[in-house]
Amino acid sequence: MLSDKEQAIKYAAATAGKIKTVARRLLGQGGRLLLVLVILAVGGGISFYWMTHKPTAKRRQRKSRTTLVEVSRVSPQSYKVVIKAMGTVIPARSIQLAPRVGGQVVDISPKFVPGGRFQANERILQVDPKDYQLAVQQRADDLAKAQCELKLEMGQQSVARRESELLGETIKEEDKELLLRQPQLAMNRAMVAAAAAALEQSQLDLKRTSIAAPFNAMIQSRSVDLGSQVNAGTAIASLVGTDEYWVKVSVPVDQLKWISIPGIGATRGSHVYIHYESSCGPDAGLEGSVSRLMAELEPQGRMAQLLVAVKDPLLLKSAAVQRFPLILNSYVRVEIQSRDVPQAIRVPRTALRDGSRVWVMRADNTLDIREVKIVWSGNECVYVTDGLRDGDMLITSNLTTPVQGMTLHMPKKRRQAKKPGGRK
């Protein structure tokens, strides 16, 4: 593409050519020469003008560039740390119920099914008691017989004592015990005691034919039914206590210092709220407390394990119409209300840079990149005690290329829209 100067020269040459053609027709030889000189003079003047008046680009004054940021004013406060974790519901009391006597099951409770609940000492099933009733009668007869023999021996004792008195001092001391029938008397007394013990044992076995719940419990599983033959010591059902459940919670070891654990620097455990929306809906939840710290770390994640005690997990004592009981082996979400963090500044995790830095907008609207000391770190925020001061403007938005001292500015506040019909 031709420049403006070249186009002007080309235009001047074309014009001169046209004038020359016209001049040839109108003028003679002398007039043509004069016209040519005039044309050359005009073309040279135009060319000289464009050569001496070259176009130049004017520089615009460079404006200073600032970066728009969003900020939040911070101030130190006391915060209560809430540790969020996951846990599994396990029974606090669990046993394998087994009879202490054998026999045939002749009666069972209608509640003896998985999920059935029993009060402490409430009968679950009955083993056939007939053999044990007969054993009680036999032991009672044996005791009566032993008592009669003891009475007869005591009569013999009276006769032996009178004979000893008639003989006087002629009896040797070592023979006197035999003469008074002391060994026979001791033997009869031992027979009475043995018969009484046998009777008591048979009565106890008869009582054990009625199998009851040792505590407030729920049937987890059973292995016998009506008519089953059971043996002493053979498990017939699995029971779990209903007064209390435990939630086994895994937390990082470095967060234990914020949790109150009974027996480890505290008398009462931290308050815990248990959520289990997945099984019972968004409104389901119970309260509990940290009970103890388990002795070993979790094998997979090397995390500490806590037991959270939950009283009345089935809400049997609750007056609520709609109940959301805990379910064993449920995977639940817990919030542990831990100790307070005094005079700390809460920083959203999205405003934390490079792990331990924050961006601050100084009073002169420039960027200040600072290191901070984190005292507690959570999933959504961190609490810092050093690096930020009261009134600092914390930058919460992102910067593409942050540079110490770069110029910043905040968005202007939008004016409130005037209400229709209002005064101007």
- Whole-angstrom Cα distance, residue 254 to residue 251? 8
Higher-pLDDT residue of 293 and 376 is: 293
Mean model confidence pLDDT for the chain: 83
pTM for the whole structure: 0.68
Q: How far is CA 238 from CA 125, 179, 196, 310, 313, in A?
A: 14, 62, 36, 21, 18
Percent of the chain with pLDDT over 70: 77
Spell out the domain ranges in the chain: 4-52, 71-78+343-409, 129-208
CATH code for the structural domain at 71-78+343-409: 2.40.420.20
Whether the pLDDT of residue 322 is over 70: the answer is no
Percent of the chain with pLDDT over 90: 45
Residue 156: what pLDDT?
A: 73
Whether the pLDDT of residue 162 is over 60: the answer is yes
Whether the pLDDT of residue 414 is over 70: the answer is no
Higher-pLDDT residue of 29 and 350 is: 350
Residue 419: what pLDDT?
A: 41
DSSP letter, residue 94: E
Whether the pLDDT of residue 158 is over 80: the answer is no
- Tally DSSP H helices, then E strands, for the chain: 6, 24
The mean pLDDT of 275-281, rounded to a whole number, is 72
Whether the pLDDT of residue 258 is over 60: the answer is yes
- Whole-angstrom Cα distance, residue 167 to residue 318? 84
Q: Tens digits of per-residue pLDDT, 361-375?
A: 998 989 999 999 988
Residue 420: what pLDDT?
A: 40
Other CB atoms within 10 Å distance of the CB of residue 397: 14
DSSP characters for 329-396? T-EEEEEEEEEEEEEEEEEEGGG-BTTTEEEEE-TTSBEEEEE-EEEEE-SSEEEEEES--TT-EEE-
The mean pLDDT of 57-70, rounded to a whole number, is 69
Reported confidence tier of residue 236, pLDDT bands at 50, 70, 90 = very high
The mean pLDDT of 150-173, rounded to a whole number, is 66
Instruction: Give the ranges where 250-330 is alpha helix by DSSP (H).
Output: 277-280
